[in-house]
Structure 1
């Protein structure tokens, strides 16, 4: 089947009778050899088009469409882009195992895996990615020569060689020296004036910073006083509210006490009236029997 799980799985120790009596489980995502071959072709073409780079999600979807066009006629054999990517990862792992086995045999062993040669041509270690040669930039000018040819005493330059005449050193006259001194004095005076202006500017900036700091400190003080005043007002309001609640609680308790006293008085009056009625009845019954 060309699957990694088929190659690496240990040999079954189940007796033949038991193997025939119980059917083997079948994975729903099992790939056939033909479907795997089509997958390698579709993936390999995309892989080479991207200069052996990673495929994007759209590329994997195209690979899945190519596989389903030939082998996805049923729901069981229909493949998604994720299944195709997982299958390629499995094939790569299988190739690395086969490659290590072949390399360790020093050429005496040849892989019998049908996809080894195709994977070796795509992702083998001897495959190098071809990079396009660098194109010279048209905006860059050719580099200047690193050296100028020298002529020895025996070899004279050709007549066509142009001679470069270096300018001679000009003597400084007294007029030039005087003008230079005047210019230097003027430049020194201008530099001194500029330095004084810079010092004045720095003093002004320092005064502005100090005034800003004073204003900021004064603003913080006003804010602190406002917060303190607000706290005092809030504390006074809360104190008054608490006193009102205490007063209301006292009134409620007094009202409940008065109500209880009235209830007890009514109860006592009722008992006294009942006792009087009972005594009147007993006195009348005694008069009847006497």
Structure 2
């Protein structure tokens, strides 16, 4: 007899599976750096030696152009001159013409601010400032010849060049793939220098340096002379204002005299009219009295006549 087959063992119940967490989405990749941020460069670092070399190079080129505006080629020559002067200076880096132009604009803007601050403190004293580069810029401004452009024109020129730089930066950083040609750029920046003839360069630079150095030493005397001239003009202007006030006072005095004469004439006329009125009143009174006297005389004569008439028949 066959033994019964063993019953299959029941399979264990399936274990309850916990739901697996959903995978988190991968973070978005960082945005690629924009072309504008990659093209924007930090401002250059100018050492004191480089700044002095820039001032001297700009002074020579500026005097050579008779204090006219520098074009792109001139700024390139200034940058090359700065590089030659600073080739033995440790830590000096080559500068471009645009960097030199921006640095000169900043220096001249601060020089004007320092000079105005000094004049506000003491107008009679020559301008001074503790700033390191103030004497160099001041000697450059009061150099051998009188300045062609005034401060307002220089500020306008700085403003126009600043607008040109903003336009260049906008075209470079905004995704546009073209630039303003250098010829047009130099025409925008130095439009007023086109009419000026190109000066003849001095073949002897050493004599020119000695000449500039002599005028640089004469800078304080020229500034003192200018201050005296301003003081003389101020005094003459105050004198003119005093003369104008004297004319106003004399006109008011003349008007007052005429008014007094008119009032005196009115008072004289009033006295004359009062005198005439009193004379007329006196004549009227005399006429009334005379008429009354005549009436009384006539009445008396009438009474006497009647009495005589009565007396005569009895006699």
TM range (shorter): 0.3 to 0.5
TM-score (norm 1): 0.35
Bigger relative CO (Cα 8 Å, ≥ 6 apart): 2
TM-score (norm 2): 0.32
